Amino acid sequence: MAGRKGSPSTVLVTGGAGFIGSHACVELLDHGYEVIVVDDYSNSCPRVFSRVERIAGRFVGAVYELDIRDRRALSAVFDRHPVDAVVHFAAHKAVGESTRMPAAYYDTNIGGTTALLHVMDEHGVRRLVFSSSCSVYGDAGEGPLDESTPHRPTNPYAASKAVCETVLADLCRADRRWSVLCLRYFNPAGAHPSGLLGEDPHGTPDNLFPYVSQVAVGRRPRLRVFGSDYPTPDGTAIRDYLHVMDTVEAHRVALDRLADGPGMKVFNLGRGSGSSVLDVVAAFERASGLTLPYEITGRRAGDVAELVADAGAVARAWGWRPVRDLADMCRDAWRFQQLNPHGYQGTPRRPGRHDEGAGPCG
């Protein structure tokens, strides 16, 4: 039995092939959980699982290629496995894209979540860790934000996460059998210290860390810094970057804490420390020993000046605190990018595993 007494032992990870999901699979396997994954590979690759298993020294129980909105396919997964709890990462997450394709974001992020809740309820599984986002706070201004900060999303991605939180809160009020933990991440970054797992988005990266990494490795000529006229010390936007290993450790603790009782709780996951875009460039230059070319361009639609966590609540409740800093994130992201200049391409697939599908990276 994994974790504390009463902790779930078989965990379904939706979006388990993605950046945070794949690291979460390692963390859960390392702590004795049985891990089942569903993913549609819309921004990930099934080849990641051979690496997950190599690091963990254990097999993922099963992997299914499916769209989270497909209730029938999802239901078949619950029929086949004794799922105790779900960690729900599967979602579209590019802020810019969400402003161009709002319906697709609402459909997958909200429709996918309600489909999952429906199937979980049908199968008597009512323990969920939900991947939320600091973006629900929107343009909340300077200073660390605690969990009581009102929702003021500034783009459809953020709005979709805010709606999911409302759905989950209403569900927990209506039915006391549900136990839900919403984790509002600030900006997860970095990679597994082995260099085997990291962030490998399809196409041009939307997020700062994978973009900087690809500039450093020579795949892209220069970084575009989106805006230098923000009311911040160097004029570039400030975010609270959190190592992906710290992020997934918090999820493992959350799984244990689902047993504390019914209802919904919400926690920020951040370091409580802000870094500007130029701070990240400088830290990455130190980690890589390179000079990274960049140009300043206009602001990106939907961006805000500053988002920094007040991360006190989760520390008080669970005694959990991040232990890695920006230098660790840059070092690990750079190691992954150096060892895998083209991401997971060329990684052998797991032999004899057909359920997981081919995915766009074949």
- Taking CB under 6 A as the criterion, the residue among 34, 39, 65, 303 binding ligand UD1 is 303
HSE at residue 199, side-chain half, CA atoms within 13 A, is: 26
Q: What CA–CA distance (Å, rounded) separates 112 from 119?
A: 11
The DSSP output letter for 309 is B
- 223-226 and 294-297 beta bridge pairing: parallel
User: 214-217: long-range contacts (C-beta < 8 A, 24 or more apart)?
Assistant: 214/337, 215/292, 215/293, 215/294, 216/284, 216/288, 216/290, 216/292, 216/334, 216/337, 217/337, 217/338, 217/341
Question: Contacting ligand UD1 (CB under 6 A), which of 88, 239, 257, 265?
Answer: 239
Q: Does 215 bind ligand UD1 (CB under 6 A)?
A: no
Q: Is 129 within 8 Å of 184 (Cβ atoms)?
A: no
Local structure of 21: helix, strand or coil: helix
- Residue-level length of the chain: 362
Question: Site map for ligand UD1, 154-193, x if CB under 6 A?
Answer: -x--x--------------------------x-x------
Q: Is 276 helix (H, G, I), strand (E, B) or coil?
A: strand
Could you say whether residue 81 binds ligand UD1 (CB under 6 A)? no
Sole window of 40-48, 172-180, 220-228, 336-344 interacting with ligand UD1 (rule: CB under 6 A): 220-228
Shortest distance (Å) from residue 224 CB to ligand UD1: 5
The 10 Å Cβ neighbour count of residue 51 is: 23
Contact 181, 147 (CB under 8 A): no
Compute the least distance from the CB of residue 324 to ligand UD1, in Å.
Answer: 17
- Which C-beta is closer to ligand UD1: that of 40 or that of 303? 303
**Residue 298 exposed, middle or buried by CB count within 10 Å (0-12, 13-18, 19+):** exposed
Residue among 41, 105, 157, 185 flagged as catalytic: 157
Question: Of 226 and 320, which CB lies nearer to ligand UD1 in the complex structure?
Answer: 226
**Cα–chain center distance at 309:** 16
- Residue 207 binding ligand UD1, by CB under 6 A: yes
List alpha helices for 266-309, DSSP H. Answer: 277-288
Window contacting ligand UD1 (CB under 6 A); options: 60-68, 100-108, 217-225, 333-341: 217-225
**For strand 238-239 and strand 275-276, is the pairing parallel, antiparallel, or unpaired?**
antiparallel
CB nearer ligand UD1, residue 200 or residue 303: 303
Least separation in angstroms between CB 208 and ligand UD1 = 4
Please say if 241 is a catalytic residue. no
Q: What are phi and psi of 212, to 5 degrees?
A: -60, -40
Query: Could you tell me which stretch among 19-27, 131-139, 315-323, 345-353 binds ligand UD1 (CB under 6 A)?
Result: 131-139
Annotate each residue in 87-126 with x if it binds ligand UD1 (CB under 6 A) or - if it does not, as one string.
------x-x-------------------------------
Among 135, 232, 247, 340, the residue binding ligand UD1 under the rule CB under 6 A is 135
Please choose, out of 39-47, 116-124, 132-140, 310-318, the segment that lies near ligand UD1 by the rule CB under 6 A.
Answer: 132-140
Considering only 49, 130, 211, 336, the residue that binds ligand UD1 (CB under 6 A) is 211
**Residue number, 258 or 304, with CB nearest to ligand UD1:** 304
Supply the residues annotated as catalytic. Answer: 157
Q: Which residues bind ligand UD1 (CB under 6 A)?
A: 93, 95, 133-135, 155, 158, 185, 187, 206-208, 211, 223-226, 237, 239, 277, 300, 303-304, 307
